[in-house]
Amino acid sequence: MRQDEAQGVSTTLADFVAGIAWTDVAAQSHEAKRSILNFFATALGSANDPAVTGALRTLLPFSGAATSTVIGRAERLDAMGAAFVNAISANLLDFDDTHLDTIIHPAAPVAAPVLALAQARGFSGQAVLNAFILGVEVECRVGNAVSPGHYSRGWHITSTCGVFGAAAACGWLLGLSSGQIAHAIGIAASQSAGIVENLPTAAKNVSVGNAARNGLFAALLAAEGYSASPRAIEGPLGWARAMGDEPDVGRLTGGLGKTWEIAKNTYKPYPAGIVFHAVIDACFKLRTKLNRRVDDIAFITVQGSALLLARGDRPVRNERDARVSIHHCAACALLLGTAGVAEFSDAVVFRSDIVALRQKVAAVLDASLPDGAARVTVQLTSGETFSEVVMAAKGSLAQPLSDGDIEAKLHDCARLGGSDWDIDRIIDDVWRLDTLADVSSLMRAHA
């Protein structure tokens, strides 16, 4: 019997987390900074969205001491409230980072509670980075252990696995013992929720916010002596099997500290589900071939994997639907030649020409194409056909965004979100985060 099977996965993960020091993770710090910079971009881009404002209005009357910043706004909440709201804003636009093996968006459920707790307790930037890297490692490894069945069964994996990362990260930041961190992970298992059916609605945001808040809550409860089963994840009646999965413990615990999941993180150039990026890129190439003869298009065929069709072959009723729509991504890219935040807003979603072009799009399964790839074929009224295949979209590990691209994205999102925060100061503070005595300057970039 493997050691992790004998003692429980929570204990194996907790021993790893509790034993990690800065020297063990320093090599991963640049990627962590990229992820946190992207986190600020997406949070600022939606800081004034009605969903964020509504959550803030709901929590303000019940908040404890207002220790932690709501990103992009002047208001503050207690750490758990700020973690909830900032996770919502970071995930709202479908523009956040993506761990491609699991389709987890790692930063929102982990960076939000870590930064809120660090600001409340005065932790250093280096401690934030250390905790963040560990949280991403735990959430993605838990996701690896139940993928791909977990997501395809209907569980929103960013929410369901994000809570484990938040608990581990906050447990490390609080200086909990290995035993306490194991209990925090087990407590998180009882707070894991989120369903794919709710993705086009505000209920999606609740589960992402809860992953951040509940992970912090789990760590705080463990610090006060709350306990959990050592086999809360993989036990016969544990989290994984209760959700319908036989967990791959090897993928969860194998090679801990030798390989790092944050090294597999990617950043989106378009505010849409990651599986649609190849569709957008292919349509951009076709637009050039067509020399903008979009009015002559008779129909459009988009071919891709079962995941692409499951995520995006759906009607478009609002801007949330549009961000996970094959049809809308193709129409925007072909007709407008761009796919930014504005192209997924209601103003564009309901444009008559966009609606008409969406109706010409058909989604077809091609099992030979891997997840993340797409083939788009356009037939004109003349009978001419043009086709493009994209195997690795912009923003993928094969075609990653540069540091400068992420900085530009932060500027664009802040402008679109109407933020008055000092963006150059955020960029400077994030790149030197490991040298900051505390994170107050970063979290007060509006002052």
Q: Which of 383, 371, 344, 364 is nearest to 276 (CA)?
A: 371
Three-state DSSP class for 356?
Answer: helix
At residue 74 the predicted structure's pLDDT band, cuts being 50, 70 and 90, is very high
**Which is more confidently placed, 33 or 320?**
33
Task: Please state which of the ranges 216-220, 284-288, 316-320 shows the lowest mean pLDDT.
Answer: 316-320
Architecture of domain 274-390: 2-Layer Sandwich (3.30)
Give me the pLDDT at residue 1, please: 40
The number of beta carbons lying within 10 Å of the beta carbon of residue 256 is: 19
> pTM of the predicted model, to two decimals?
0.93
Give me the pLDDT at residue 440, please: 87
Residue 447 has pLDDT above 70, yes or no: no
Provide the percentage of residues in the chain whose pLDDT is more than 90. 90
Residue 12 has pLDDT above 70, yes or no: yes
Taking only the tens place, the pLDDT of each residue in 195-231 is 999 988 889 999 999 999 999 999 999 999 999 999 9
Residue 73 has pLDDT above 50, yes or no: yes
Give me the pLDDT at residue 426, please: 96
Taking only the tens place, the pLDDT of each residue in 105-127 is 999 999 999 999 999 999 999 99
Radius of gyration (C-alpha) of the chain in whole angstroms: 21
Residue 378 has pLDDT above 50, yes or no: yes
Taking only the tens place, the pLDDT of each residue in 126-145 is 999 999 999 999 999 999 99
Burial of 186 from C-beta contacts in 10 A (0-12 / 13-18 / 19+):
buried
Residue 53 has pLDDT above 60, yes or no: yes
Average pLDDT score over the chain: 95
Mean pLDDT of 402-418: 95
C-alpha span between 378 and 401 (Å, rounded): 28
Which segments of 224-339 does DSSP mark as H helices, in order?
239-242, 249-253, 277-290, 306-312, 319-323, 326-336
Provide the percentage of residues in the chain whose pLDDT is more than 70. 98
Please name the residues in contact with 311: beta carbons below 8 A apart, sequence gap of 6 or more: 273, 275, 276, 324
Give me the pLDDT at residue 200, please: 83
Taking only the tens place, the pLDDT of each residue in 225-274 is 999 999 999 999 999 999 999 999 999 999 999 999 999 999 999 999 88
**Residue ranges matching CATH 1.10.4100.10 in the chain:** 3-267+401-443
Taking only the tens place, the pLDDT of each residue in 242-254 is 999 999 999 999 9
**Residue ranges matching CATH 3.30.1330.120 in the chain:** 274-390
C-alpha span between 85 and 87 (Å, rounded): 5
3-267+401-443 CATH: 1.10.4100.10
Residue 184 has pLDDT above 50, yes or no: yes
Three-state DSSP class for 21?
Answer: coil
The DSSP H or E segment spanning 11 is helix 9-18
Give me the pLDDT at residue 293, please: 87
The number of beta carbons lying within 10 Å of the beta carbon of residue 9 is: 28
Give me the pLDDT at residue 311, please: 85
